[in-house]
Chain A
Amino acid sequence: MNNVKLSNLEAIGLVLIIIINHLILNFSKSIISNTGSASALNILFIGIILLLFVQFLIFLFKHFSGQDILDISEYLGGKALKILTGILFISYYIVFTSILLRSFSENLKIIYLNKLPIIIIVLFFIFSITFANKLGIKTISKVNLLILPVILFCIIFVFIANIKNYDFHGLFPLLGSGVKQTFIIGLSNMFAFSSISILYFLPPMVRDDKSFKKIARISTILSVILFFFGIVCFLSLFPFIRNSKEIMALYLATRYIEFGRFFQRLDAIFLLVWTVAVISYLCVAVAFSINIFKKISNITDYNGILYCFAGIIYIISLISTDLAQLNYIEINIFKYVVFILLFGYSSLILIFANIKKRLRGGKNEKIT
């Protein structure tokens, strides 16, 4: 899988599909419940910080051309650190993929599959994840690139079709619960942009450093724009209280769309699109988990691992008993894990690796 080279568009697509899924899977709800009417402002603020962080990442990766976080960990702390980093990222992907899978399945069950047991609904997803991953990450990224325009079109369509329902009073007061809540405590909302985790593994998969820079910048800017408009729409569309409801906000937004007497309930069509988007996201996450495992274990045939991962995801997704538990994990654990792993641990590794490299003689040093 490490020999796979992704085009710039494919790589950007991988980052975007994660952010889109965060939008679909109601991450906006957590943000809005955290920062209230100031969420839009908060996202703009976070977006700027994120852009600066990505720029910093690009700078840190500059001295490690074509190497991902695992290679850099190995350089810094040997095999042990490489394995530790790998296990942390695999756990992150697997656990949160399972939780999001369960969360979406529960939503599907509430919306229309109330007669189907949750274990069957989850199994459908597990089947598609396994099948797609057997065909490799290149296939997944290509499919992702094919469906991404349709998903984006649908999201934009939902935003535009709801124009008559917007009430921009929802955006006020602009500073919500205050400056501290918006800009200091609201920093925890950065978890919504956990899609940048992919950037840590992209360098060996893209053509060159120039491509990586381009991908990182464009995907971050697009993610921020998408999330900003998403939050603005949700704040304008639903009263603050509705935003904290269990069901997916984007799904609820589609329920308001109607064109004349014939098209009055189009939400099911969008549900189809959201489902495809979620499958794509799950496939991407599992593909990266397998990629990491392959790197830390040096295995060549990953089919066995794929079945193991699929089984683990299936089991973890069925552990929680209800949506409330899932929401608790999303709001209280996911946020901090993202913060610690993506913005703390990984950047520390990169910083120390850069320092080590500088001490050892900079660019000319060869990494084995």
Chain B
Amino acid sequence: MNFSRLKQSLNNLITYNAPKDSYNFSLNNSTSKNITYDFDKKVSANIKENKEFINIKYNTLINSDIIIRNFKLKSNNKSYSAFIIYIDGMSDSNLINRFILQPLMMRNKANMYKTQSLKTYNKGKKVIIKKNSNNLAVEIENSLLPQNSLVKETDFNNIFSAINMGNCVLFVDTIAIAFNLDVKGFKQRSVSTPNNEIIIKGPQEAFVESIRVNTSMLRRATNTENLVIENVSIGKISKTPCAICYLKNIANSDLVAEVRYRLNNLDVDSLLSTGQLEQLICENNKYNIPQVISSERPDKAAKNLYAGRVVILINGNPYCIILPATFVDFISSSEDTNLNPIFANFLKFLRFLALAITLLLPSFYIAIVDFHQELLPTELLFSLWASRENVPFPIIFELIVMEISFELIREAGLRVPSPIGPTIGIVGALVLGQAAVSASIVSPFLIIIVAITGIASFAIPDFSFGFHLRITRFLFTISAYIAGFLGIAIGLYVYLCILCSLKSFGVPYVNPNSNKKSKNFFVLPTWMQEFRHNYLHPKREQAQGKISMKWRHPNE
């Protein structure tokens, strides 16, 4: 028998036990409130002061990836204290060693002799290179740093931004200037095929996370010197680099100015995604209708630039924002340009049908079954009622349960690891659906309705717009349940009113009366696309000559 345990128990019973420590953490207001935002500080001529400021700002004692390298810099045979700062993993160490530290620290012609004694010979004549020997900054820039990208900075604001982007910054004692050196060397995803905007014919490359790579892709796609890429940084803390891209000879100047105005007047701490920016720059967000196009395709961006639109790129995001956008843009695909116009228009019509089905099919089903049975032929009506005979729930409950199940399957399919994704779909759609019908929870007709609606929603090319339709269809379903076709009619009218009231950067979202010269809904054959969309009011209205195929009509 284990007497020790018994003894221990008795002891615990009769002896005094101090209260046990309980760990009870709760998050309250921060105890340290000495946060200062002294971003306006300028670079000092005293290197110690600069270093101290950087140490505080970057918490160099705690941050392990911030590298500060102190050394002695030689210039005109004099020695100066200096240091470089960069972030490990973001800058190329090899570049720093070979092209910054080596020229500055090693003895060479450039830093050993005084400028006055530097001589070179030009066709036998002695020429003295005139330099201001007292200006160390000029000396470093001209002779000591063999770098193609060197920016002299005086504001710490820009310096921190540069360091965070992977640049290396050089501080030298006695001069109130820092040298911002582009030595970015972080690992990034290479250009690959688009994941979400797949097309069969056409370019197969997509934007990546690096803004510079994206701008280069736009340059290549547009291939014109008229492409302007303006840099803007958004976010008081994050200072996310963004680029406003437009063709200066096509895009409306007021549109560009408006985009610039909105981007420059954002009071946010950080900007991390295109989705955030979309919400911040759109006029009306309360209806959840996307008002700008989001695309991962450089060819689509280039096409829209040539149409007179503006493209915004955000660093760290493989998507661009194209604006302004109209309703029709959300049922257009990049594929449309690459296909025969008849095929493209057929696909567009199919997408429009998909839009109508996604939005209205469940509500029509409810309205017909509950209010307008006369629409169905008698045989079909009997079969429908027979299938619903054993279902104990009202039709609205049945429908909403199935719609939400479908949404769950879709969401689960997206979140689970890719090898399991299809399994979830098969299990969810086939097994669960069949089981629900067998258990008389739902009728087989309803499964067909939900499946068709689901399939149709996948045919909407724009993800955000598809999402919007999926949410809106629930409202139509409820209104149809309340008043049948009257409910749908009211819902439809209100929805149309919302669409017609929206504006995307001054352009009406739905403009049935806008296209006198260029068709908006239908894709015209290339030779007929003579004019750009007039609702964009581009500087160049005409996109091509009246006769674009001059080889065919040489005399006209």
Contact = CB atoms under 8 A, between A and B. Distances in A.
B364 to A, nearest CB: 9
Contacts of A139: 497, 500-501
Contact of A268 (B485, B494, B513): B485
Given A7-B513, A10-B513, A267-B374, A108 B493 contact: no
Contact of A124 (B483, B497, B500): B483
Interface in A118-142: 121, 124-125, 127-128, 131-132, 135-136, 139-140, 142
Contacts of A271: 485
Given A124-B490, A271-B485, A276-B492, A265 B375 contact: yes
A135 B509 CA distance: 14
Interface string A80-123: 00000000000000000000000000001000110010000100
A299 interface: no
B237 interface: no
A275 interface: yes
A323 to B, nearest CB: 18
Interface string A243-284: 000000000000000000110111111011001100110010
Nearest to A265: B374
A276 to B, nearest CB: 5
Contact of B372 (A7, A135, A268, A283): A268
A262 B375 CA distance: 9
Nearest to B492: A276
Contacts of A116: 483
Given A108-B486, A275-B486, A147 B497 contact: no
Nearest to B379: A261
A136 B508 CA distance: 14
Contact of B496 (A125, A143, A267, A269): A143
B374 A280 contact: no
A124 B487 contact: yes
B484 A9 contact: no
A58 interface: no
A145 interface: yes
B9 to A, nearest CB: 72
A143 B502 CA distance: 12
Nearest to A261: B377
A249 to B, nearest CB: 19
Given A139-B500, A146-B500, A113 B486 contact: yes
Contacts of A143: 493, 496-497, 500
Contacts, number: 86
A121 B497 contact: no
A145 B493 contact: no
A116 B370 CA distance: 13
B489 interface: yes
Contact of A9 (B374, B486, B496, B513): B513
B367 to A, nearest CB: 8
Contacts of B488: 272
A265 B540 CA distance: 53
Given A131-B494, A276-B489, A142 B500 contact: yes
A135 B494 CA distance: 10
A279 B500 contact: no
Sorting the interface of chain B by its residue count into under 10, 10 to 19, 20 to 34 or 35 or more gives 20 to 34
Given A10-B513, A268-B375, A135 B483 contact: no
B536 interface: no
A147 B490 CA distance: 13
A185 B205 CA distance: 76
Contact of B494 (A7, A113, A121, A128): A128
Interface in A25-81: none
B494 A275 contact: no
Contacts of A128: 490, 493-494
Interface in A305-344: none
Interface in B444-503: 483-490, 492-494, 496-498, 500-501
Contacts of A135: 497-498, 500-501
Interface in B486-536: 486-490, 492-494, 496-498, 500-501, 508, 510-513
Contact of A264 (B377, B487, B500, B510): B377
A121 B496 contact: no
B371 interface: yes
B377 A131 contact: no
Interface string A333-362: 000000000000000000000000000000
A131 B497 contact: yes
Contacts of A136: 501
A283 B489 CA distance: 14
Q: Which of B484, B497, B498, B501 has the most CB of A within 10 A?
A: B497
* Secondary structure dominating the interface of B: helix
Nearest to B485: A272
A133 B368 CA distance: 30
Q: Which of B368, B371, B508 has the most CB of A within 10 A?
A: B371
Nearest to A271: B485
B375 A279 contact: no
Interface in B346-379: 368, 371-372, 374-375, 377
Contacts of B494: 128, 131-132
A142 B493 contact: no
A268 B374 contact: yes
A262 B511 CA distance: 37
Contacts of A269: 375, 485
Contacts of B484: 112-113
Nearest to A278: B489
Nearest to A142: B500
A33 B464 CA distance: 55
Nearest to A132: B497
Contacts of A146: 496, 500, 510, 512
B222 to A, nearest CB: 34
B513 A125 contact: no
Interface string A187-213: 000000000000000000000000000
B4 to A, nearest CB: 79
B379 to A, nearest CB: 9
Contacts of A132: 493-494, 497
Contact of A275 (B368, B377, B485, B496): B485
Q: Which of B484, B487, B488, B489 has the most CB of A within 10 A?
A: B489
Nearest to B497: A132
A279 B493 contact: yes
A139 B511 CA distance: 10
A124 B496 contact: no
A146 B493 CA distance: 10
29 contacts: A9-B513, A10-B513, A108-B486, A112-B372, A112-B484, A113-B484, A113-B486, A124-B490, A125-B490, A128-B493, A131-B497, A132-B497, A135-B498, A135-B501, A139-B500, A140-B497, A142-B510, A142-B513, A143-B500, A145-B513, A261-B377, A265-B374, A266-B375, A268-B372, A268-B485, A269-B485, A275-B485, A275-B490, A276-B492
Interface of A: 7, 9-10, 108, 112-113, 116, 121, 124-125, 127-128, 131-132, 135-136, 139-140, 142-143, 145-147, 261-262, 264-269, 271-272, 275-276, 279-280, 283
Given A121-B483, A147-B493, A275-B490, 16 more contacts: A112-B371, A113-B484, A124-B486, A132-B494, A139-B500, A140-B497, A142-B511, A143-B493, A143-B496, A143-B497, A143-B500, A146-B510, A266-B375, A268-B372, A275-B489, A279-B490
The 5 closest A-B pairs by CB, nearest first: A275-B489, A268-B372, A142-B500, A135-B501, A265-B374
